[in-house]
Amino acid sequence: MANSRAQPAAPHHIAIVMDGNGRWATRRFLPRVAGHRQGVESLRRCVQACADRGVRVLTVFAFSSENWNRPQEEVSGLMELMALALGREVPRLREDGVRLRFVGERSNLSERIAQGLAKAEQATAGNTRLTLNVCFNYGGRWDIAQAAARLAEEGEAITEASLDRALALSHVPDPDLFIRTGGEQRISNFLLWQSAYSEFYFSDRLWPDFDEAALDEAIGAFAKRERRFGLTSAQLTESPAADQPTA
Ligand code: IPE
Ligand code: IPE
Ligand code: MG
């Protein structure tokens, strides 16, 4: 495929822990919520960049099950920002062919936010260029537990395949590339099940500073990895014919 940037092929699905907003703000003597506001700008740029590079699914961690334990002022600032961003960003995402999906527990969200999420999903349901999964009030453990509970309730056997289908991200394949910005090298309860064979990439950049060049660096690093999925390196390069039994 022709590509003017001479970039390696983009991964199908990128997942990102958008970390470092608070530190970005603190370094500028700003309130932490100013960092989250800048984080929305960075996400807008990243969505566009992913779509331009042929990424089909982008899954981002916006608010974790544990983030409720932050100071009340920050939590309400984040909720307010979500409500604002929904109003402001959805029309453009809709125009740009982005399908929005929100992944996480909705029962303890305010009515206003819950309705906003549902409306945004409806408004972009027909889009196919890029699926943007926003994990909000999400935890990997929550997801596995809710999936298991649902299967138990329906009297279905718990197998890898049935759990896979019951998980909140069952509408997309597992992430190929898992990026965390902000310098920490941990999962923090993001896609515990789905990242089993993802390639991990840790960037020291704070999320508001994670620009197109940083994304290209991550994609470039991904392109150099050899994904073996439990096989040997030699098996990956063997031609299918080599597997045929010889007469
Ligand atoms: C990530 O940035 C965004 C959320 C968790 C909502 P942080 O707010 O965790 O930023 P740092 O890690 O404190 O810099
Ligand atoms: C993970 O970041 C959650 C989001 C980016 C939304 P945190 O900042 O909450 O993670 P820890 O506390 O550093 O592990
Ligand atoms: Mg953080």
Domains present along the chain, CATH in parentheses: 13-238 (3.40.1180.10)
Is the distance from the beta carbon of residue 189 to the nearest atom of ligand 2 less than 6 Å?
A: no
In the chain, pLDDT over 70 holds for what percent of residues? 94
Task: Summarize the confidence of residues 90-116 as an average pLDDT.
Answer: 97
Calculate the average pLDDT of the chain.
95
Ligand nearest to the CA of 40: 1
**Rounded to an integer, what distance in angstroms lies between the CA atom of residue 234 and that of residue 10?**
24
The pairing of strands 130-138 and 98-103 is: parallel
Mean pLDDT, to the nearest integer, of 189-195? 98
- What confidence tier does 7 reach under pLDDT thresholds 50, 70, 90? confident
How close is the Cα of 6 to the center of ligand 1, in Å? 33
pLDDT at site 239: 72
Please measure the distance between the N-terminal and C-terminal CA atoms of the chain and give it in whole angstroms: 40
Q: Are 65 and 97 in contact (CB under 8 A)?
A: no
Residue 173 CB neighbour total at 10 angstroms: 12
What is the C-alpha separation between 182 and 179, in angstroms, rounded?
Answer: 10
Helix (H) or strand (E) holding 133: strand 130-138
